[in-house]
Amino acid sequence: MDTVQRGKGYSYGHAPGLRKLTPKMLGTIEVAETHRFTTAMLPGQVLAAFKAAAPYLGLRPCVVHAIDWLFRFTDAVDWQPSSRPIVWPSAAMQQQEMGLGASQVKNLNRYLVELGLVVMKDSPNGKRYGRRDSKGCIIEAYGFDLSPLASRFAEFQAVAEEGREERARLQALRRRATIARNGIRQLLEAAVEQGISGEEWETHRVASASASRGIAGRNRSVEMEMAVVTLERTQCNMRRYLELALDARKATQREGSSESVNFGPKGQKKWPHITTTNELQNLKDTVKASGKSSPSRVLSGEYQSSKGLANRLEPSRTTNEQQRPGKVRTDTGSLLKITPMELIKLAPRLKTYLKNQAPSWPEIVDAADWLRDEMGISKFIWGDACLVMGREQAAIAVAVVSAKPPGHFRSTPGGYFHGMISKAKAGELHLARTIWGMRGTGDRQPR
């Protein structure tokens, strides 16, 4: 009766209780049978090489954990030329210590064989067991044969080394990409400050955004290098275009300006200064009489009072600026009816660059020049503001920007200041109203 039943079982090509073989498993079995130890190996070296190569071979963490667990049961003597590394932990132990069910353990063991990592050496009764002699050498063993791992030791080392080199290349390329992105971001901010726009610049901006997006998802150094080169080339093109645009603007301003203006941090030594006092401090710095005129003639008639002379000199100071197209003074009054001390109170950040507790307007201008550098306002924009508004009004505008909270700006303080200059050129800037608004805000603050 039993013989007939067994015959029926074998008629399907698979004996009950025996392991089902797949083509991949057959290849691993052949590798294990043909492998011979030529030199002694250490199991720790083989395991370390395997774990180093596993990420680059695409092996899942559960596979690495399973191999690591099997190596707990092997000894160094098993990796000698006259021995064979076989371990025989029971299926129950494997399920318990790995936290898997019976079916999961079977599938995992089959997967390890198909990956070419181990071979299952089955006993006649299908159980795993083994015996060692007095020296610890294996006499008889049935279970997991680790010979395929030994045969692939050199392969694991090569894969790990190549993987480390690939990772180093990727890290270097990512650093280059970060540097290029930061450079592009600086160029975009500079363009906002300088008011650079137009169709061609927009083309460069869109190209930079596209090149930056092309970096994401690149896991191979060959593809990453192509994307980084494209990003760096885009940055170079943007920088070249911005330099040419700024050079062209400077050349146009030099050709259109009838006099040269020094945009240095200290200004011109003999720049005419507007004063709010009724007494003229230095007559010869403001009025030049002809050789036939005398001091009495200059001070006679409509110039008899120093107040009338100061009122007459103020329009003459801005005559050249008013004649230039698009550069019109928009403030009311000589200094917007504000004193240096009040301006410091409204814009406390000026104090850092003042040496005198009661500064004059030239000192305020110098302090504003240093303050604008702290806020990221370029020297070119500062010079443009001085030409459009006058140095004192430009200093007041810088103070106004410094008093704004960081969240007030859509882009940068430099871009906001550039917008003020554009309004001044169009005759739409009203600093006096802004000063009055700041005064009202200061009065409402708790003391």
Per-residue pLDDT averaged across 293-319, rounded? 37
Per-residue pLDDT averaged across 133-157, rounded? 89
Q: Of 422, 357, 365, 425, which is closest to residue 393 (Cα–Cα)?
A: 365
* pLDDT score at 116: 86
* pLDDT score at 332: 41
**Is 48's pLDDT higher than 60?**
yes
Q: Of 139, 153, 157, which is closest to residue 39 (Cα–Cα)?
A: 153
User: Which range among 147-151, 240-244, 322-326 shows the weakest confidence by mean pLDDT?
Assistant: 322-326
What domains, with CATH codes, occur in the chain? 17-151 (1.10.10), 171-256 (no CATH), 320-444 (no CATH)
**Is 67's pLDDT higher than 90?**
yes
User: Which range among 218-222, 247-251, 284-288 shows the weakest confidence by mean pLDDT?
Assistant: 284-288
Q: Give the DSSP H/E element, type plus range, for residue 434.
A: helix 431-444
Q: For the whole model, what pTM was predicted?
A: 0.45
**Is 312's pLDDT higher than 60?**
no
Compute the mean pLDDT over every residue in the chain, rounded to the nearest whole number. Answer: 76
Judge whether 363 and 356 are in contact, CB under 8 Å: yes
**Is 351's pLDDT higher than 70?**
yes
pLDDT in tens, 383-428: 888 888 888 899 999 999 999 888 888 878 888 888 898 888 888 8
* pLDDT score at 299: 33
Judge whether 123 and 142 are in contact, CB under 8 Å: yes
Rounded CA-CA distance 241/235 in Å is 10
* pLDDT score at 18: 53
* pLDDT score at 150: 87
pLDDT in tens, 179-195: 999 999 999 988 888 88
Rounded CA-CA distance 286/360 in Å is 18
**Is 267's pLDDT higher than 60?**
no
**Is 291's pLDDT higher than 90?**
no
Query: What confidence category does residue 31 fall into, taking pLDDT thresholds of 50, 70 and 90?
Result: low
**Better-predicted residue by pLDDT, 220 or 305:** 220
**Is 84's pLDDT higher than 70?**
yes
* pLDDT score at 411: 78
**Is 443's pLDDT higher than 90?**
no
* pLDDT score at 88: 92
* pLDDT score at 93: 93
| Percent of the chain residues topping a pLDDT of 70 | 72
Query: What confidence category does residue 126 fall into, taking pLDDT thresholds of 50, 70 and 90?
Result: confident
Q: Of 51, 55, 82, which is closest to residue 69 (Cα–Cα)?
A: 51
**From the CB of residue 416, how many other CB atoms can be counted at a distance below 10 Å?**
20
* pLDDT score at 21: 58
Measure the N-to-C terminal CA separation of the chain; round to a whole number of Å: 107
pLDDT in tens, 314-346: 433 343 444 444 444 444 434 567 888 888 888
DSSP per position, 338-389: --HHHHHHH-GGGGGG-S-SS--HHHHHHHHHHHHHHTT--HHHHHHHHHHH
